[in-house]
């Protein structure tokens, strides 16, 4: 096989993403009320920021609804108290002293707080279809006095920052505030989050919710609800023809081993429909886009196949 890397994220970003993406999936259904140009019943998609659009804090820091991170997000503890207790927990786990002073500088760095590409594409497609987009953030103030918001605000019709509003998820008031600024009813919007308590609060108001375990899977579920594709369409591709199939599970395992164990998300496999002597495939795995070429099936006569020469 001959594989060419078309896009590769930084190792730091992949490591943080893998550490931060969570397990378990849950959905709540809302009542459709309105039809937009995409053909579905919804008028807006609301994204939580951390854990949906960018990597979220680690589980040790999060610790559930009453964990350190959530208390800090709700303004119930100071940055200094958070770091002190977080350092104590990390030291207990590792059985050695762990410096955590750089936690916030790493968390807010461009390498870590970078928007998932699949979500960027999804937001673009949603807006092209005439739907509104909004983002909710349980964010905080940085040392320079500005709020932590590493996203391009132009992507959203409404931005609700908890540290500016003084209301924090899962307080129902923050979802009502977002809906009010969108001028929508709860049943007209879809809300994506990675935390169960936030989803439960939003669903209680009538919002349709999607649990985000990994961005790729969440976008596929969102596509199903909206009725149109949210990912970049690769020109001149088609589903893999039956005679040209590749063992997908084996390929995915091979690529995850090759690209690093932190690689997450399902594998997408398409075949280019132009008739080349060597079958050519498009692969998407997490934030990687790959081109794969293989020998055609059957007995070959030289110099029909050039895969070995291309690889060399």
CATH number assigned to the domain comprising residue 191: 3.40.50.1000
Between CA 265 and CA 52 the distance in angstroms is 13
Q: Which of 73, 89, 108 is the last residue of a domain?
A: 108
**Would you say residue 102 lies in a domain?**
yes
Between CA 20 and CA 276 the distance in angstroms is 41
**Would you say residue 17 lies in a domain?**
no
Which is higher by pLDDT, 25 or 116? Answer: 116
- Contact criterion met (CB below 8 Å) for 231 and 134: no
Same domain, 88 and 171: no
pLDDT tens for residues 116-165? 888 998 999 899 899 999 999 988 888 788 888 999 999 999 999 998 99
End-to-end CA distance of the chain, in Å? 11
pLDDT range class, residue 110, cuts 50, 70, 90: low
**Would you say residue 231 lies in a domain?**
no
Neighbours of 249 (CB within 10 A): 9
**Would you say residue 189 lies in a domain?**
yes
Same domain, 66 and 152: no
Same domain, 104 and 121: no
**Would you say residue 162 lies in a domain?**
yes
pLDDT range class, residue 86, cuts 50, 70, 90: confident
What's the whole-model pTM score?
Answer: 0.61
**Would you say residue 88 lies in a domain?**
yes
Q: Which of 175, 193, 226 is the last residue of a domain?
A: 226
What are the phi and psi torsion angles at 289 (to 5°)? -120, 125
Same domain, 140 and 206: yes
pLDDT at 5 over 60: no
- If we measure between CA atoms, which residue out of 286, 238, 5 comes closest to residue 119? 286
DSSP of 241-268: PGGG---HHHHHHHHHHHH-TT--S-EE
**Would you say residue 2 lies in a domain?**
no
Number of domains in the chain: 3
Q: Which domain range does residue 101 map to?
A: 57-108
**Would you say residue 153 lies in a domain?**
yes
pLDDT value of position 33: 37
Across the strands, what pairs with 190? 45, 208
pLDDT range class, residue 64, cuts 50, 70, 90: low
pLDDT value of position 90: 64
Chain position carrying tokens 């895969």 = 307
Same domain, 254 and 186: no
């Amino acid at each position: 096989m001959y594989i060419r890397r078309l896009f590769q994220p930084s190792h730091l970003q992949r490591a943080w993403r893998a550490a931060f993406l969570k397990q378990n999936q849950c959905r709540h259904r809302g009542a459709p009320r309105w039809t937009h140009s995409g053909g579905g019943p919804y008028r807006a998609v609301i994204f939580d920021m951390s854990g949906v659009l960018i990597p979220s804090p680690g589980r040790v820091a999060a610790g559930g609804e009453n964990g350190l991170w959530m208390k800090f997000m709700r303004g119930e503890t100071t940055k200094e108290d958070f770091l002190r207790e977080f350092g104590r927990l990390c030291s207990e786990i590792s059985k050695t002293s762990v410096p955590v002073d750089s936690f916030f500088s790493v968390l807010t760095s461009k390498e870590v707080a970078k928007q998932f590409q699949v979500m960027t594409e999804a937001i673009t497609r949603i807006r092209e279809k005439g739907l509104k987009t909004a983002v909710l953030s349980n964010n905080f103030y940085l040392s320079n006095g500005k709020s932590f918001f590493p996203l391009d605000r132009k992507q959203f019709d409404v931005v609700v920052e908890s540290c500016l509003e003084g209301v924090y998820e899962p307080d129902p008031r923050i979802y009502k505030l977002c809906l009010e600024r969108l001028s929508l009813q709860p049943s007209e919007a879809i809300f994506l989050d990675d935390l169960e308590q936030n989803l439960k609060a939003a669903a209680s108001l009538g919002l349709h919710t999607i649990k985000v375990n990994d961005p790729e899977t969440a976008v596929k579920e969102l596509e199903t609800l909206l009725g149109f594709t949210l990912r970049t369409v690769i020109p001149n591709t088609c589903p893999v023809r039956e005679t040209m199939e590749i063992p997908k599970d084996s390929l995915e395992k091979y690529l995850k081993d090759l690209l690093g164990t932190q690689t997450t998300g399902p594998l997408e496999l398409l075949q280019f429909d132009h008739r080349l002597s060597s079958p050519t495939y498009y692969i998407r795995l997490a934030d990687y886009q790959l081109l794969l070429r293989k020998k055609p099936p059957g007995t070959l006569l030289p110099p029909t196949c050039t895969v070995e020469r291309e690889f060399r």
